[in-house]
Structure 1
C-alpha cells in the first residue's frame, strides 16, 4: 500500500500537471511556427508526421497525432491550399486520400526542424541529459499504460 496521499487539489493532480506543461510547451513552440512560417499547431504536427513518416491518409494522421479528424481535415486542406501538402487518390481505398509533403512542404519542414530543436534545447535546459532521458522514458511508459484508442473517440 502506498504512503502517498491522493491529490486533494486539481493543481496536485499529475494528469492536470502534465496537461498544463504540455500546453505551455506547445504554446511556446506554436508562437515561433506562427511568426516564422504562418503555421498553426495542428498544421505543423501534420507536417512533422508527414516529414517523418511519408505518405499517409488523414485517418492515419489522426491516429498518429491523437487529434480529432475535424481539425486534421481542416489543417490538411489549409496545407494543400498553401501548396505544402499534396492530396492524391488512394488506390487501396477509394474513400480516402493520400497526403504527402510537396517540395515546398519539405523545404518548410527542413527549415522548421532546426528551430524546433533549438526551442527544445531552451525549454529543457533546466534538465541534465540523464533527466531528459528519464523524462522521455517516463512519458513513453505513461503513454503506453494509457492504452490504445482511436483519436475519433476523443471527440465524444
Structure 2
C-alpha cells in the first residue's frame, strides 16, 4: 500500500466538514495523470441530502490538486455529468476550517456561493524539520514543491501542538 502524501490533510479537511460530506464517496489519489507529474488529488462529495436542499439537484463536490488548490463542481444530470463551479478558496493548502466555511456557503440556499472563492488562511509551518517520508519522496520526485510539502506536513504531525495560555 502506498501512503498518499496528502492523506493527513484530506483527513483534516473531512473532519472539519463533519456531516457536510459523504464519506463513502470521497477519496484521495496519488496517480500519474498527464504522463509526467504525479498528481496529488482529494475528491470530497458533499452530503447529497444537504446538496439537494440547497438546490443542487444532481450533487456537488469539492476537489483539490497540488497544482490548483480547492475548486468545486456540480452535477448537471443523473448520468453523472458535471460542470465546473469555480475556485472554492484562494490559497493552495487552505486551513480545513476555511474549507468548511466555504462548503457551508455552497450548501446554504439563497446565493451564498456568490461570495466564492473565499479567502483562506494557511497554518503556520516550520520548514526546517524533517518531512514525513511520503512527503519527502513526493518532493524528491518533483511532484510537489518545498513550500507545499511543508504546508502539508503540518497535518502529518501525530499531535497538534498545544496553544499557549496565559498564566497569572
Query: Structure 1-normalised TM-score?
Result: 0.27
Flag the structure with higher strand content: 2
Q: Which of the pair is proportionally richer in helix?
A: 1
1 or 2 for the larger relative contact order (CA 8 Å, sep ≥6)? 1
**Structure whose CA Rg is larger:** 1
